[in-house]
Amino acid sequence: MTRPKDTNTPPCQNPKCTHYQKEKNKNTIKHGKNRADHQIYKCLHCNKFFTETKNTPLYRKHLTEQQITTICKHLVEKNGIRSIERLTGHHRDTIGTLLEDLAEHATKVNDYLMKNVGLSQLECDELWSFVKKRKNTTAKRPN
C-alpha cells in the first residue's frame, strides 16, 4: 500500500511546465531539505526541483527563517546595520542584501510580519521607513 499524497504541497514553480502554478492536479512531492532547512519539492510532471521559498525574500538565502526574523526585529527597534551585525554575527552586506529583498517583497513581508511575527502596523511602518532611509543613502554613495 502506498502512502497518501501530501495535499499541502505547493504547485510547480517551473514556467516551462504544463502544471506551472496550477493548484488542480498538482503532482509535487517532498524531496528533502536544503542547508537552510527549507523544504525541497519535486514536480512529477517536469521532474524539476524547487524550494518552498521560491518567489519569496527567503529564496537563495543561507539564513534560516528564525535568523531573518531576528534581523527584522532588530531593524524595528531602530538598530543600525553595524549593530545588527554585532548582535547576530552576520555580515553587514548580508543584512543589506536582505533589506533590499525585503523592500522588493514589501507587501508579502508586511502581511507575514503582522501575522507570524506579531508586529503591529506601527512597527511595520517604522521598519519600512528605515529601509527607505537606507535605500536613499546607499543610492547616493559612489562606487
Dihedral over Cα of 116, 118, 122, 123: its sign = negative
Give yes or no for residue 54 having a pLDDT over 80. no
Q: Taking all residues of the chain, what is their mean pLDDT, rounded to a whole number? A: 78
Q: Which residue range(s) make up the domain with 2?
A: 1-55
Indicate if 76 and 114 belong to the same structural domain.
yes
Q: Specify which residues 30 forms β-bridges with.
A: 41
Domain boundary among 21, 36, 55: 55
Q: Specify which residues 33 forms β-bridges with.
A: 39
Indicate if 82 and 132 belong to the same structural domain.
yes
pLDDT (0 to 100) of residue 84? 92
Give yes or no for residue 5 having a pLDDT over 60. no
How far does Cα 38 stand from its chain's mean position?
10
- What is the percentage of the chain residues whose pLDDT exceeds 70? 80
Angle at CA 38, nearest 5°, toward 36 and 43?
Answer: 135
Give yes or no for residue 6 having a pLDDT over 60. no
Give this prediction's pTM: 0.52
Indicate if 97 and 122 belong to the same structural domain.
yes
Runs of H (alpha helix) within the chain? 65-76, 81-88, 92-104, 106-112, 121-140
How far does Cα 33 stand from its chain's mean position?
16
pLDDT tens across 84-123, in order?
Answer: 999 999 999 988 888 888 777 777 777 878 888 888 888 8
pLDDT (0 to 100) of residue 86? 92
Euclidean distance between CA atoms 37 and 111, whole angstroms: 22
